Amino acid sequence: MVNGVLTSILLETLILVKQMTIKLALMTALKMSFLSMLAMELAMNSVDFLIVGEVKLTILSIPFMLIAGFLTPLPYNYYRLKAYGHACH
């Protein structure tokens, strides 16, 4: 989970640094990504554990993990974008 969150924050900061200062880009990445990435990672690991019985990638669990990882943070991300009047592109 730590690697997923850190990678997300790093990549988002690198993308945002083209539009703003590095400090502001990092703060924006932390505010926007942290909770949704944590929820996504937790959902994916939980689904994997429920299907396989351990946190181990298998062909059977991957589609279900991806669906859970996408749907779990969707309401939060939608709310954040709507509340602040931003688009994600």
Quick one: pLDDT at residue 89? 52
Question: Does pTM top 0.85 for this prediction?
Answer: no
Quick one: pLDDT at residue 33? 77
Residue 38, exposed/middle/buried by CB under 10 A (0-12, 13-18, 19+)? Answer: middle
Distance from C-alpha of 36 to C-alpha of 55, rounded to nearest angstrom: 20
Distance from C-alpha of 75 to C-alpha of 61, rounded to nearest angstrom: 23
Quick one: pLDDT at residue 86? 62
Region 70-77: mean pLDDT is 88
Residue 32 pLDDT > 60: yes
